[in-house]
């Protein structure tokens, strides 16, 4: 373990005896497996331990900041979906045109740009030079835009690429030709016959991207001083406040697993072929 939380907690002039006493009181002298079992025992009761630094239950601190993180990730996902779905559809329909090259280029850059750097550059251009948006903090919608765009750029790129590839495959299917022969308008062919089928893997991707969003939220919150779980956790890491870090990781992994379970269940609804307990 790097960094002793006890030393960081106490003032500079504490004696060695006092440090030893606090170590004993916090249970750091027990063997590691005992400490681990104690942690697991508490976890079953929903107790994530006490934050060393704030001297409050870790779960309470984390839940207080949960709404801010959820708001940010939700806004980012909304941004990603709103931009990516029209772009993905259009670039498949207008395959190998200027529009297609543009959206594919945007997607490639979106997947290559480091998230924290994009955040800093957006802040530099729109907050420092143009003064359109505030640089940091949480408040009205104007505080939300830059962090949401920063965080949503990677999922946006991923959705564009997947949707475009799926649309290209689906548009070549026999049933699309059949619909066309039947005289269905091109708009309805794209939206109803092709998009509905191409969208299924995209739903899975969106579920998996939630994990990416949580990881990215940590960084985005640090850049824009967004008072969410991510920023709390990074500060906790600097303070060697392990219960808080542990609690945050467990909580975010829990939300991630819940979201993906929901997505898997939704899959059965979207695609009748994968419903459990029914033969095709």
Partner 1 sequence: MSFLRKIPLKVILVSIPIGLSILCALFSPLFSPHDPLQTDLGKRLIPPVFQKGGSWKNVLGTDPIGRDILSRIVYGSRVSLTVGLVATFLGSLIGATLGLISGYFRRKTDSIITKVMDIQLSFPTVLFAIFVVAITGPKLQNIILVCGITSWVTYARVVRGQVLSIREKEFIEAARGIGCSIGRILTRHVFPNIFSTMVVIATLDIGRIIVLESTLSFLGLGVQPPTPSWGGILFDGKIYITQAWWITAFPGIVIMMVVLGFNIIGDYLSDLMDPYTKQLMEAVGK
Q: Write out the residues near partner 1 by the rule CB under 8 A.
A: 1-2, 108-109, 111-117, 120-121, 123-124, 128, 135, 162, 165, 201, 205, 208, 211-212, 214-216, 218-219, 222-223, 233-234, 237-238, 242, 245, 249, 252-253, 256-257, 260
Q: How far is the CB of 157 from partner 1 (least distance, A)?
A: 10
CB 143 within 8 A of CB 134: yes
Q: How far is the CB of 206 from partner 1 (least distance, A)?
A: 11
Q: How far is the CB of 261 from partner 1 (least distance, A)?
A: 10
List % helix, strand, coil for the chain (3-state, nearest 5).
75, 0, 25
Q: How far is the CB of 128 from partner 1 (least distance, A)?
A: 5
- Of 276, 91, 104, nearest in space to 198 by CA: 91
Query: For residues 85 and 234, which CB has a smaller minimum distance to partner 1 in the complex?
Result: 234
CB 68 within 8 A of CB 226: yes
- Of 95, 257, 79, nearest in space to 163 by CA: 95
Q: Which two tokens stand for residue 47?
A: 């107790």
Query: For residues 14 and 135, which CB has a smaller minimum distance to partner 1 in the complex?
Result: 135
Query: For residues 166 and 190, which CB has a smaller minimum distance to partner 1 in the complex?
Result: 166
Residues 102 and 124: their CA atoms lie apart, in Å, by: 25
Q: How far is the CB of 198 from partner 1 (least distance, A)?
A: 13
Query: For residues 90 and 252, which CB has a smaller minimum distance to partner 1 in the complex?
Result: 252
Residues 6+ apart with CB under 8 A from 22: 6, 9, 10
Query: For residues 148 and 233, which CB has a smaller minimum distance to partner 1 in the complex?
Result: 233
């Amino acid at each position: 373990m790097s960094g002793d939380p006890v030393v960081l907690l106490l003032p500079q002039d504490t004696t060695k005896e006092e440090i030893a006493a606090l170590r004993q009181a916090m249970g750091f002298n027990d063997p590691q497996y005992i400490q681990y079992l104690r942690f697991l025992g508490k976890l079953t009761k929903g107790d994530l331990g006490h934050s060393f630094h704030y001297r409050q239950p870790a779960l309470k601190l984390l839940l207080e900041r949960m709404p801010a993180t959820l708001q940010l990730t939700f806004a980012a996902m909304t941004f990603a979906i709103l931009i990516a779905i029209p772009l993905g559809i259009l670039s498949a329909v207008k395959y190998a045109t200027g529009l297609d090259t543009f959206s594919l280029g945007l997607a490639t850059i979106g997947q290559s740009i480091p998230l924290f750097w994009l955040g800093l550059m957006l802040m530099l251009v729109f907050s420092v030079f143009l003064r359109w948006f505030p640089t940091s903090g949480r408040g009205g919608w104007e505080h939300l835009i830059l962090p949401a765009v920063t965080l949503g750029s990677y999922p946006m790129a991923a959705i564009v690429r997947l949707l475009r590839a799926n649309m290209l495959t689906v548009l070549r299917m026999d049933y699309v030709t059949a619909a066309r022969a039947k005289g269905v308008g091109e708009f309805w062919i794209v939206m109803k016959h092709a998009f509905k089928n191409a969208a299924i893997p995209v739903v899975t991707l969106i579920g998996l991207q939630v994990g990416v969003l949580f990881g990215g939220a940590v960084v985005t919150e640090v850049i824009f001083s967004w008072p969410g779980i991510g920023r709390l956790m990074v500060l906790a890491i600097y303070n060697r406040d392990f219960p808080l870090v542990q609690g945050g990781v467990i909580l975010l992994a829990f939300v991630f697993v819940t979201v993906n379970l929901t997505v898997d269940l939704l899959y059965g609804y979207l695609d009748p072929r994968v419903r459990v307990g029914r033969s095709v």
